[in-house]
Copies of this chain bind each other. A is one copy, B any other.
Amino acid sequence: MKKTTPKKATMVIAQSGGPSMVINESLVGAVLEARKSPRIGRILGARHGILGILGDDYAELRKPSERKLRAVAATPSSALGSCRRKPDAADCRAIFERFRRLGVGYFFYIGGNDSADAARIVAEEAEKEGYPLVVYHIPKTIDNDLRSCDHTPGFGSAARFVASAIKGDDLDNRALGGVKIDIIMGRDAGFLTAASALARREKDDGPHLIYLPEVPFSLDGFVRDVKAAMKKFGRCVCAVSEGIRDKSGTPIAAKFAAGEHDSHGNLQLSGTGALGDYLAAYLKKNAAVKRVRADTFGYLQRSFPGVASETDRREAFAAGQAAVRAALKGDLAKGTIAIVRAKGRAYKVAFVPVPIAEAAKFTRSVPKSFIAVNRHDVTAKFIEYARPIVGDLPPCEIL
């Protein structure tokens, strides 16, 4: 069994977890960077994450023209397909058997914290087995909850969708009145819901109420807040995280959810309008508001074409490039790319290789400094943090 990476090795890259609008930027950034190196031979894109490795299902990524790859980069969702499987030791043995046959020396996995953990498992098992493999995780999650990153590729674009949607919906609510509830993705971290605040420009613009999973949610408090907002603004737009929970930590969605769980054991929150409908019905009954509507932004938040943030696109591409550059240095003690923001006024980031454990397993929540004292809004500090990542929205003007 070889103990070192051969001079010219095959590279495998794959995507895992929920898609995003810019995950293909990371894929293409990595592939185009790899194409430059004489030390990388074949470049294989495994379809549907590690399932593609286990099923020998690959796209040959030296073949497509750069022009085609750049078009793929600008396309939302995971071009190679995705999966949510966490590999065990037996999976890893099967993976290495296949990798050996293909001469794979580099493995890149683009995804969130579950995917980082999958990559960590592969790296650790490879070391145990004595299989010489450089493994790098490339960060991606619209939830913005990786501890290793100031912000994650994918977040800026999903946040841009959310802020744009809230902007339009606030204008709609201005025209017809009543209460509008918008349910926004983010199981444990409220960053995307917080980004709804970027829709505001005028003083009375919505969202008028913002509920994050980081702040315990009570139905009584909700009714009180809505009544107060209706009194103040004559209407009310609420941005509500799908992950809101009561003070015991129980998700509000668990009160009525059919109880479907994904393969990581997480309760299904997206792909259903149940939470919004529940809150709307509760308000109608208890807040004496006649017109209450609820929308659940759902999967459009991560897949809508043409609304990606330019900054997010650029950074996702650069994260892919950085992972390949770090992997070519062969530093096995590192394994993921941290996005580090420079201090100071001008927005600037660096892409720094750090140990994979910093992205795996543990997630990050919206920090207290971003949550307003009234507990149903965000602070100016959050706006300052998020604005350069999300970019300016299309201009809107009212009479």
Contacts and interface: CB of A to CB of B under 8 A. Distances in A.
12 contacts: A64-B399, A71-B396, A75-B171, A77-B171, A81-B174, A81-B175, A82-B175, A168-B300, A295-B300, A305-B393, A305-B394, A306-B307
A76 B171 contact: yes
A330 interface: no
Interface in A233-284: 258, 270-274, 276-277, 280-281
Query: How many A residues touch the partner, as a band?
Result: 35 or more
B172 A19 contact: yes
Given A19-B176, A305-B396, A399-B64, A168 B76 contact: yes
A260 to B, nearest CB: 8
Nearest to A274: B277
Given A175-B82, A299-B180, A294 B306 contact: no
A82 to B, nearest CB: 4
The count of identical subunits is 2
Shortest 4 CB-CB distances between A and B: which pairs? A273-B273, A271-B293, A295-B298, A168-B303
B395 A74 contact: yes
Interface in A1-55: 15, 18-19, 45, 48
A78 interface: yes
Given A68-B397, A295-B296, A302 B76 contact: no
With most chain B CB atoms within 10 A of its CB, the pick from A84, A277, A295 is: A295
Contacts of A280: 271-272
A167 to B, nearest CB: 6
Contacts of A258: 281
A230 interface: no
A229 interface: no
